[in-house]
C-alpha cells in the first residue's frame, strides 16, 4: 500500500510545524483577536471608534528575493518583507492594519525552515502592530522542487471612510518628504541578481559595506506603520515606493492637474544602488528600484518641519506643482 508520505506529503511534519508556530502567532495578538490558532478561520472583532469604518485589504509576495533566501539558507527575514509589502500599501489609503494571514507553499515541508519564515512574519506583524490570525501551509511535491518555497501575504485593516480619498486633498505647493528605505526592499531583485552575480561575478560572502553582500541584499523591507500612526494628522498623502520606483508610484496620489517635481540631487541612494548602477542606466535604475526612498509623504508646508523632526531619517525631495499628472525628476 502507498501512503501520503510515500507520495511526498508528510502530515506529521505539518503537525510539528503548527506546534512550533503557536507561540509565534500568540506573540502578535492585539485587542480584537478572537480565538486562537487551529480553527477553520481567523476571527477579528471590528475596532470601535469609527463613524464609518471601511475594511481595506492588500496582498503581495516577496518576489525573487525568495531565491536568495533559499540559496543562502537565511530564512528569518523574508517574512518581514511579506508583511511590509502589504501593510505599507494599506497605510497609503489611511488604513490601520488589523490582522495578517500568510500562505506558504513548498515542495517538501522542512519544519525548521518554515518555522524561521513564520518567525519573520510574526516579527513583521509586531512591527506593524497587527495580529497574525491564520495562514495555510501547502506541501506540493511535483509543483515545487524540494527546497523551494513561495510566499503570499494578506493584510486587512480599517479606515475611516471620510479619510480614504487622499488624492483630492493634494494641492499645489505641498511638499514631498522621503522616508528612507532599508535597501532594495522587495523589488528589482531579478535585475539585481543579473547584475551582481552574472555580470559582476560576485558571491554571497563577498564583503560589502562591512558585511556579507547577502546580508545587505536580504535586509528586510522597512515597515512604516508606526510612523504613519504618529504623523497621520500631518500627512496629506503617502506613496509606497515599490516596483516602478518613484516615477510610477508617486503619480498614484496625484490629481490630474498636478505633477510632482522631484529634486533628483536631493535623493540619497544607498551604496547597494550605486554598485548596481555601474551596469544599469540611471533612468532604468529609477524605474526598477526605490533608490533609497521607501515611502514618499505629501505634506503641507506648515507641517514640514514637524514631520522632518519626527520621522527618522526623513528629508525633503520636492514639491507639488500645477501641470499634467506625472513625476519630473530634475
Quick: pLDDT tens for 229-256. Answer: 999 999 999 999 999 999 999 999 999 9
If one compares 18 and 280, the residue with the highest pLDDT of the two is 280
Residues whose CB falls within 8 Å of the CB of residue 28, separated by 6 or more in sequence, listed in order:
100, 122, 125, 126, 130, 131, 132
Half-sphere exposure of 286 (CA within 13 A, CB side): 16
Per-residue pLDDT tens digits for 96-111: 999 999 999 999 999 9
If one compares 121 and 47, the residue with the highest pLDDT of the two is 121
pLDDT at 7: 67
The overall average pLDDT reported for the chain is: 95
pLDDT at 17: 87
Mean pLDDT, residues 304-310: 97
Its sign, for the CA torsion 137, 140, 141, 144, is: negative
The counts of H helices and E strands in the chain are 11, 14
**Residue 6 confidence class, pLDDT cut points 50, 70, 90:** low
Half-sphere exposure of 153 (CA within 13 A, CB side): 31
Domain parsing of the chain, residue ranges: 11-163, 167-329
pTM: 0.96
Per-residue pLDDT tens digits for 148-196: 999 999 999 999 999 999 999 999 999 999 999 999 999 999 999 999 9
Per-residue pLDDT tens digits for 47-75: 999 999 999 999 999 999 999 999 999 99
**231 within 8 A of 179, measured Cβ to Cβ:** no
**Residue 126 confidence class, pLDDT cut points 50, 70, 90:** very high
**For residue 116, how far is the Cα from the chain centroid?**
18
Q: In whole angstroms, how far apart are CA 64 and each of 77, 145, 217, 249?
A: 14, 15, 11, 20
User: Is the per-residue pLDDT at 131 higher than 90?
Assistant: yes
* Topology at the third CATH level for domain 167-329: Phosphoribosyl-aminoimidazole Synthetase; Chain A, domain 2 (3.90.650)
pLDDT at 20: 87
User: Is the per-residue pLDDT at 278 higher than 90?
Assistant: yes
Q: Does domain 11-163 fall into CATH 3.30.1330.10?
A: yes
pLDDT at 36: 76
H or E element that contains 315: strand 315-322
Instruction: Cell 553582500: give the residue.
Output: 213
pLDDT at 226: 98
Per-residue pLDDT tens digits for 207-236: 999 999 999 999 999 999 999 999 999 999
pLDDT at 37: 75
pLDDT at 261: 98
Per-residue pLDDT tens digits for 27-37: 999 999 998 77
87: nearest Cα among 33, 133, 154: 154
Amino acid at each position: 500500500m502507498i501512503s501520503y508520505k510515500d507520495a511526498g506529503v508528510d502530515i506529521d511534519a505539518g503537525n510539528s510545524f503548527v506546534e512550533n508556530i503557536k507561540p509565534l502567532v500568540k506573540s502578535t495578538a492585539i485587542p480584537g483577536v478572537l480565538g486562537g490558532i487551529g480553527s477553520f478561520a481567523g476571527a477579528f472583532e471590528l475596532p470601535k471608534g469609527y463613524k464609518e469604518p471601511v475594511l481595506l485589504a492588500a496582498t503581495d509576495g516577496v518576489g525573487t528575493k525568495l531565491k536568495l533566501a533559499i540559496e543562502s539558507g537565511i530564512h528569518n527575514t523574508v517574512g518581514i518583507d511579506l508583511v511590509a509589502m502589504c501593510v505599507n500599501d494599506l497605510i497609503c489609503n489611511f488604513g490601520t492594519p488589523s490582522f495578517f494571514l500568510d500562505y506558504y507553499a513548498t515542495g517538501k515541508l522542512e519544519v525548521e525552515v518554515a518555522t524561521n519564515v513564520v518567525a519573520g512574519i510574526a516579527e513583521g506583524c509586531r512591527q506593524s502592530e497587527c495580529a497574525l490570525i491564520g495562514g495555510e501551509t501547502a506541501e506540493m511535491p511535483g509543483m515545487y522542487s524540494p527546497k523551494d518555497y513561495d510566499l503570499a501575504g494578506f493584510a486587512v485593516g480599517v479606515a475611516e471612510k471620510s479619510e480614504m480619498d487622499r488624492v483630492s486633498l493634494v494641492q499645489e505647493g505641498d511638499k514631498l518628504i522621503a522616508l528612507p528605505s532599508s535597501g532594495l526592499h522587495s523589488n528589482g531583485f531579478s535585475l539585481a541578481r543579473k547584475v551582481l552575480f552574472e555580470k559582476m561575478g560576485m558571491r554571497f560572502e563577498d564583503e560589502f559595506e562591512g558585511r556579507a553582500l547577502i546580508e545587505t541584499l536580504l535586509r528586510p523591507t522597512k515597515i512604516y506603520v508606526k510612523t504613519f500612526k504618529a504623523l497621520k494628522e500631518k500627512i496629506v498623502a503617502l506613496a509606497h515606493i515599490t516596483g516602478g520606483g518613484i516615477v510610477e508610484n508617486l503619480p498614484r496620489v496625484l490629481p490630474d492637474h498636478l505633477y510632482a517635481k522631484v529634486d533628483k540631487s536631493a535623493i540619497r541612494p544607498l551604496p547597494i544602488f550605486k554598485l548596481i548602477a555601474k551596469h544599469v542606466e540611471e533612468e532604468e535604475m529609477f524605474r526598477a528600484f526605490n533608490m533609497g526612498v521607501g515611502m514618499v509623504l505629501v505634506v503641507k508646508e506648515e507641517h514640514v518641519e514637524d514631520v522632518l523632526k519626527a520621522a527618522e531619517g526623513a528629508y525633503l525631495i520636492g514639491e507639488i506643482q500645477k501641470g499634467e499628472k506625472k513625476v519630473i525628476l530634475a
